Amino acid sequence: MLDDGTPPGPEPTGPRLVAVKGGARPKAAEGADNALFVDVALLPAELEHMPLDRFGAVAVIDVLRATTTIVAALENGARGVVPVATPGEAYAWRAAAEPVLLGGERGAKRIPGFDLGNSPLEYVRERVAGKLIVLTTTNGTLAFRRVLAAGPGGGQGPELIAACLRNAQAAARHLWQRAVSSDRGVLVVCAGTNGWFSAEDAYCASVLLDCLAACGPLEPGDGARAVMRLGALAAPPLAELSSSRHGQTLLRLGFAADMDYCAQISVSETVPRFNAGVLVAAGGPYDTGSPAGVPSVDGESVAGEPAPAGPA
């Protein structure tokens, strides 16, 4: 912490960041002039104290299971995913915008009246291709909303993406490019579980940082440094996920196949990015290149952009 109470990190208009291609990993080039500043918020609550204008790109991680489910939905051709905070908000979308699919969980189980739960294995092509999905989960979708609320808005906020183990490498490349081109850093936000630290999200963050380190030198903040150390001690991915508190809950509820799916590393090229209030596959047919925006059932995002996939 600096004397004036400012947390460490790059200045909003910091030194130019230069990508180094093909670098051996994972060397954290602390203090190097061309290093990319990267930090990790181990819980969304940390966002209250983090000036987001220091970051050109932000990744939300809820590896069990919201961000894995979002990647699965978009990989299987969904038009977009709207992360909302409550089931009531989801019902409002259904009332205003037919046809949408409502997905999500409470207590890891499908919400009554919803079309889908929060298992990525439900989001198959036959079910989701061409559809807009409104998703509410206990922690993951809330984490997105908290990042959007913490951002400067008006289209000035950072690029916001969803990351999980399955898209770790593709997500890291996307974050790197966006951060370098904005001369700002990368922030990884772990969703946690009901306000508690989640071992599985921290593990996933360590894998993402490894992939970022393969893009070029990093200057890690304290959160990133802690996560890298955890990652150095990690068990194999399935063991990491299964031994976490939420992993144990999912296993008790019979979601062992979800754990196997969520534990696969860098098998997907799909990067969900916020585009005017809706998560779409980056570079896909529904990506108009708009800034993040905020989900809004009346079709107006806070960024002042119409939400293209929203109701008329």
Contacting positions for ligand MLT (CB under 6 A): 62, 64-66, 105, 108, 118, 137-140, 250
- Look at strands 132-136 and 218-220 and give their pairing: unpaired
Measured from the CB atom, the residue of 65 and 174 that comes closer to ligand MLT is: 65
CA distances from 182 to 10, 47, 84, 161 (A): 12, 20, 28, 15
Q: What is the CA radius of gyration of the chain?
A: 18
Q: How far is the CB of 260 from ligand MLT (least distance, A)?
A: 14
Phi, psi dihedrals of residue 299, rounded to the nearest 5°: 85, 0
Residue of minimal CB distance from ligand MLT?
137
Starting at the earlier edge strand, list the strands of the sheet with 185-190: 109-110, 100-106, 132-136, 80-83, 278-281, 272-275, 159-163, 55-61, 185-190, 36-41, 218-220
Measured from the CB atom, the residue of 81 and 218 that comes closer to ligand MLT is: 81
- Side-chain-side CA neighbours of 171 within 13 Å: the count stands at 32
Measured from the CB atom, the residue of 200 and 210 that comes closer to ligand MLT is: 200
Q: How far is the CB of 78 from ligand MLT (least distance, A)?
A: 17
The candidate with the shortest Cα–Cα distance to 61, out of 246, 295, 304, is 246
Question: Do 84 and 295 touch, CB atoms closer than 8 A?
Answer: yes
Measured from the CB atom, the residue of 76 and 182 that comes closer to ligand MLT is: 76
Measured from the CB atom, the residue of 171 and 190 that comes closer to ligand MLT is: 190
Q: How far is the CB of 92 from ligand MLT (least distance, A)?
A: 20
Task: Determine the 3-state secondary structure of 38 from DSSP.
Answer: strand
CA distances from 28 to 42, 52, 65, 113, 228 (A): 19, 22, 29, 48, 10
Measured from the CB atom, the residue of 75 and 219 that comes closer to ligand MLT is: 75
Q: How far is the CB of 157 from ligand MLT (least distance, A)?
A: 22
First to last CA, the chain: 47
Q: How far is the CB of 64 from ligand MLT (least distance, A)?
A: 5
Q: How far is the CB of 65 from ligand MLT (least distance, A)?
A: 4
Q: How far is the CB of 107 from ligand MLT (least distance, A)?
A: 8
Measured from the CB atom, the residue of 85 and 214 that comes closer to ligand MLT is: 85
